[in-house]
Chain A
Amino acid sequence: MRTAVLLAIAIVMLVVWIFPVAWGLLTSFKTERDVLAYPPEVIFEPTLVNYHDVFFGGASIVPNLISSLIISGLTTALTMLFAIPAAYALARLDLPWKRATGFWVLATQMLPPVGLVIPYFLLLRKVGWTDTYQGLVLVYLTFALPFAIWLLVSYFEEIPREMEEAALLDRAGRLRALWHVILPQAKGGIAVTVIFVFLNSWNEFLFAVVLGGNTVRPVTVAMFNFISLEQTQWGRLAAAAMVGMAPVIALGLLAQQHIVKGLTVGAVKGGGRR
């Protein structure tokens, strides 16, 4: 009896979490008439017209998907390039003012984005970088870089020191030790970091809606624009959302085991231990 109640509550919860996405998936296969039907229809004749619209129609989101891919890809690459050495220095080396800089990196991660989007709007306009890839990537670094540094620090700290010391005794040199010993050891952590940085960049909205434009319009903004059309077509919006969110859902499931760590890393490190 008790187990049955517990199970029932767990199932209800699961349904609540999955429902909007599942219903969205269902809606994406409905014609506009079926979407607006009352009572809501669970059984209907499925159609691919929304997906056809989203890929090949007048309001195709393919350019937006490409935009998102370029921005997220560039942001991830640049972030890793700068974050890996910095995280290694924070985790393992004798860095002056380590604690203060560590806390500062963490604080930058907590800034409300609206506080950054205002100065960036003024600054990027001055240099003509609004609605450009370099402009948005630069702004995306503000949340990606501190996040990646902290996540990587926690993975670097897990590597046994002996590994590294053995490499140093070999006179392999610090940089080669980093390249040949640390990086292979932290491969899993680096992969997880790449996934999270990419996911966060893909999902970003505020920077993109203010600082993007007709040339650079990521998929999150394109989806939002579907509702400001004269007559919102919910079926098409649902199809666009399914296509736009498929990559992050796939990545989320891929990184499933690591998601708790990825989400708590900042606080775990910044609060205590040292």
Chain B
Amino acid sequence: MRERRFALALFLPAFVLLVATTTLPLIYLLWSSSQRIDLTMPWMSGTAGLENYAKLGGDTRFWQSLKLTLIYTGTTVVLQVLIGLGLALLVLQVRAGQAILRIGAILPIVLAPVVAGLFWRSLVLAPDFGILDFVTRALGLGSYNWLGDPQLALVSVIAIHTWQWTPFAFLVLLASLAALPPDLYEAARLDRAGPWQRFRHITLPLIRPAIVIVVILRMVTALSAFAAIFAATGGGPGSATEILNLYAYRLSFTELNIGYGAAVAAVLLLITLSVAFFLFALRRAR
């Protein structure tokens, strides 16, 4: 009993602070989403009930934005896991440069996403003086407006995100691969199992937990991605790279229609929490 009281005394301050700083604002967000809060028309403010949510149904920009969120999250996560895993498997076999690669991998991760977006926008993707344009021109493929063309812009922001976070997948998977017991492979080699069979039947099942962790964390990061896209395209051209985060931001702080922005943010919140919950349940079931 005394221990419980001691435990609570240590835990409660942080608990109360967390409730106050996260849970209460979220309740306020839900309440705001039921209000008409338009800073350009303050006289219109009042209760809206579920009006904001009803509006979502007929809002093509919202559906487009939802679709972009799914594309952005899906492709970046798949690319990161595939490239990260492939690279980790490769690097495991070259002992020499591992240390340097590990250090190099840290650079994109610690960079502020807003800087990643700015660097790519100015140094890599800018037409004419960006490096990528130089490469495609040198190869005779011509010059492109990488961030100005709607489709290329989407590919570009996906590339930026993949660039920044693949090192994360790489580092985690490399650590988990390096921890596998080597004698397992000896036995398999004696049984004349080929490289693919060894990977499929020994490596993959053993590193599955690490892959699931990577997928969960990468999905959460992708679903809250904001700064890199904001810096690179601002959601544009038009709304070509406007994932839900950007849409909720632009609604609330550019168009100042905060009530409706809150409704979009609430939808995003629901998606993130259910994805996280689903993946955790899946992981526990294993």
Proximity bits, A178-208, B CB within 8 Å = 1, else 0: 0000000000000000000001001111100
The answer to whether B101 touches A21, judged by C-beta atoms less than 8 angstroms apart, is no
- CB-CB nearest in chain B for A96: B4
Q: Is A139 an interface residue (CB 8 A)?
A: yes
Interface size on B (CB < 8 Å)?
Answer: 95
Q: Is A245 an interface residue (CB 8 A)?
A: yes
The answer to whether A89 touches B94, judged by C-beta atoms less than 8 angstroms apart, is no
Q: How far is the CA of A11 from the CA of B96 in the complex (A)?
A: 12
Proximity bits, A65-108, B CB within 8 Å = 1, else 0: 00000000000000000110110111001111000010001011
With beta carbons under 8 angstroms apart, the residue of A175, A237, A256 that contacts B103 is: A256
With beta carbons under 8 angstroms apart, the residue of A6, A83, A237 that contacts B93 is: A6
The distance from the CB of B36 to the nearest CB of chain A, in whole angstroms, is: 13
- CB-CB nearest in chain A for B121: A227
| Given A114-B249, A116-B26, A224-B114, A146 contacting B101 (CB threshold 8 A) | no
Q: Is A24 an interface residue (CB 8 A)?
A: yes
The answer to whether B213 touches A39, judged by C-beta atoms less than 8 angstroms apart, is no
Q: Is B231 an interface residue (CB 8 A)?
A: yes
The distance from the CB of B271 to the nearest CB of chain A, in whole angstroms, is: 9
Q: Is B269 an interface residue (CB 8 A)?
A: yes
On chain A, the residues within 8 Å of B216 by CB distance are 267, 271
The answer to whether A24 touches B123, judged by C-beta atoms less than 8 angstroms apart, is yes
- Category for how many chain A residues contact B: 35 or more
The answer to whether B134 touches A115, judged by C-beta atoms less than 8 angstroms apart, is no
The answer to whether B265 touches A89, judged by C-beta atoms less than 8 angstroms apart, is no
Stretch at the interface among A44-52, A55-63, A119-127, A157-165: A119-127
Identify which of residues 1-34 in chain B touch chain A, using a CB-to-CB cut-off of 8 Å: 3-4, 6-8, 10-11, 13-15, 17-18, 21-23, 25-26, 28-29, 32
The answer to whether B129 touches A40, judged by C-beta atoms less than 8 angstroms apart, is yes
Q: Is B261 an interface residue (CB 8 A)?
A: yes
Q: How far is the CA of A139 from the CA of B20 in the complex (A)?
A: 10
| Given A9-B90, A237-B122, A253 contacting B10 (CB threshold 8 A) | no
The answer to whether A24 touches B22, judged by C-beta atoms less than 8 angstroms apart, is no
Q: Is B201 an interface residue (CB 8 A)?
A: no
The answer to whether B8 touches A95, judged by C-beta atoms less than 8 angstroms apart, is yes
The distance from the CB of B170 to the nearest CB of chain A, in whole angstroms, is: 8
Q: Is A128 an interface residue (CB 8 A)?
A: no
The answer to whether B14 touches A82, judged by C-beta atoms less than 8 angstroms apart, is yes
- CB-CB nearest in chain B for A232: B122
The answer to whether A82 touches B17, judged by C-beta atoms less than 8 angstroms apart, is yes
Proximity bits, A114-154, B CB within 8 Å = 1, else 0: 11111111110000000000000011011001100100000
A3, A20, A227 — most chain B CB neighbours (10 Å): A20
On chain B, the residues within 8 Å of A146 by CB distance are 18, 22
With beta carbons under 8 angstroms apart, the residue of B10, B21, B111, B231 that contacts A145 is: B21
The answer to whether B118 touches A111, judged by C-beta atoms less than 8 angstroms apart, is no
Q: How far is the CA of A14 from the CA of B94 in the complex (A)?
A: 14
Q: Is A166 an interface residue (CB 8 A)?
A: no
The answer to whether B273 touches A110, judged by C-beta atoms less than 8 angstroms apart, is yes
Identify which of residues 37-86 in chain B touch chain A, using a CB-to-CB cut-off of 8 Å: 37
Q: Is B100 an interface residue (CB 8 A)?
A: yes
Q: How far is the CA of A245 from the CA of B113 in the complex (A)?
A: 11
Q: Is A259 an interface residue (CB 8 A)?
A: yes
Q: Is A239 an interface residue (CB 8 A)?
A: no
The answer to whether A7 touches B96, judged by C-beta atoms less than 8 angstroms apart, is yes
On chain B, the residues within 8 Å of A16 by CB distance are 163
| Given A20-B120, A82-B14, A115-B265, A122 contacting B32 (CB threshold 8 A) | yes
Q: Is B156 an interface residue (CB 8 A)?
A: no
The answer to whether B101 touches A107, judged by C-beta atoms less than 8 angstroms apart, is no
With beta carbons under 8 angstroms apart, the residue of B3, B212, B268 that contacts A94 is: B3
Q: How far is the CA of A253 from the CA of B111 in the complex (A)?
A: 12
On chain B, the residues within 8 Å of A19 by CB distance are 124, 131
The answer to whether B14 touches A149, judged by C-beta atoms less than 8 angstroms apart, is yes
Q: How far is the CA of A271 from the CA of B258 in the complex (A)?
A: 35
A114, A149, A199 — most chain B CB neighbours (10 Å): A114
Proximity bits, B81-116, A CB within 8 Å = 1, else 0: 000000100110110110011111111111111111
Q: B interface vs A, CB < 8 Å? A: 3-4, 6-8, 10-11, 13-15, 17-18, 21-23, 25-26, 28-29, 32, 37, 87, 90-91, 93-94, 96-97, 100-116, 118-124, 128-129, 131, 134, 138, 163, 167-168, 171-172, 175, 209, 212-214, 216-217, 220, 223-224, 226-227, 230-231, 244-245, 248-249, 252-253, 258, 261-262, 265-266, 268-269, 272-273, 276, 280, 283-284
Further pairs besides A21-B119, A101-B11, A263-B168: 11, Cβ < 8 Å: A14-B104, A20-B124, A36-B128, A85-B10, A113-B224, A114-B226, A119-B26, A123-B28, A259-B106, A259-B171, A264-B172
Top 3 A-B pairs ranked by shortest CB distance? A252-B110, A86-B14, A93-B7
Task: Write 18 A-B pairs (CB below 8 A) sorted by A numbering.
Answer: A6-B94, A19-B124, A21-B111, A24-B119, A35-B129, A38-B134, A88-B10, A115-B265, A116-B22, A118-B252, A122-B258, A141-B21, A199-B110, A223-B118, A238-B123, A251-B110, A259-B106, A267-B213
